[in-house]
Amino acid sequence: MAELAEAGHAVVEHGVAEQTVQDYIQHHLSYLTYGRHADGSWGMAHDAVEAAEMGFMSIHVDTMGWSLFLGAGFLLFFRYIGLKATTDTPSGMQNFVEMIFEFVDARVGEGFDGKNPLIAPLALTIFVWILLMNTMDIIPVDLFSILLGFIGFEHAPFKIVPTTDPNITMGMSLSVFVLIIYYSIKNKGLGGFLAELAFHPFGKWMMPFNLIIEVPTLLAKPISLGLRLFGNLYAGELLFLLIAALLGAVQLPAHFIWAVFHLLVIPLQAFVFMMLTIVYLNAAHQTSHDH
């Protein structure tokens, strides 16, 4: 953050208030937080310090709201297209949805060897949901601050990219991790699952070394899955903010160049999350006989 320290004297216009670059970026990286205040009452935090004091039981209203809204919108849209689907004269939207179905189904066919009717719908949900959440990063960073200003909330932090919130990405990755553990035990038995951790790859006489290798490898799956998605989208958002704060009137060309590059990052990260989920669940369905 050395660049921000050097640029601390800069002033940018934001609504009716003047802010330093640090204030501007900190505002846009903060969350609209609801939780319990120090006096015991419940309500919205007024600043980042108050949000931090609310502790673990607070909720980021903005990222949670957007993630649920986008998820519900995706499900309702796909259901609508499914109900209207026809083999005679399919609409452009039906062709588009079918193309997504076929793309995800092909990836599941390539990466999953077992038989489980949950995997394809799960992969489809993960891919489309993350893609929609990532795409919110293309919306101009100040647009919603301006809109909130019209209803008297111009100084409220409001993030619209759920995947820049580690609570969202880690929540999704931990859900996948629960499925990994569940299907590992279901398909291999508890003894088989524990034996994989204890006796592989060097055999039962090297159990301590096997555990040192296998346990961290298992725990690294949800951590890497969630942090990879969060890190890539957070870095993209931060660069958008730096361009907006430091380049002033000449920011549009830089925004356009970065947005074009970011259009590759948005679907790529959704694809990576989906593929790793398929690979991890495929491994959870493999027994020692399959190896």
Q: Is 228 one of the catalytic residues?
A: yes
Q: Is 232 one of the catalytic residues?
A: yes
Q: Is 116 one of the catalytic residues?
A: no
The single residue of 187, 224, 282, 288 carrying the catalytic annotation is 224
Structure tokens at 223: 């951590």
Q: Are 154 and 143 in contact (CB under 8 A)?
A: no
Nearest partner of 148 among 33, 24, 23, 32, judged by Cα: 32
In 30-152, at which residue ranges do the beta strands (DSSP E only) sit? 33-36, 42-44, 59-60
Nearest partner of 137 among 25, 235, 210, 47, judged by Cα: 235
- b/e for 84-93, b at 16 or more Cβ within 10 A? eeeeeeeeee
**Phi, psi angle pair for 231, to nearest 5°:** -60, -45
CA dihedral 85, 87, 88, 89 (to 10 degrees): 50
The single residue of 36, 167, 175, 228 carrying the catalytic annotation is 228
- b/e for 117-130, b at 16 or more Cβ within 10 A? eebbebbbbbbbbb
DSSP 8-state symbol, 122 = H
The single residue of 30, 67, 232, 282 carrying the catalytic annotation is 232
Q: Which residues are catalytic?
A: 224, 228, 232
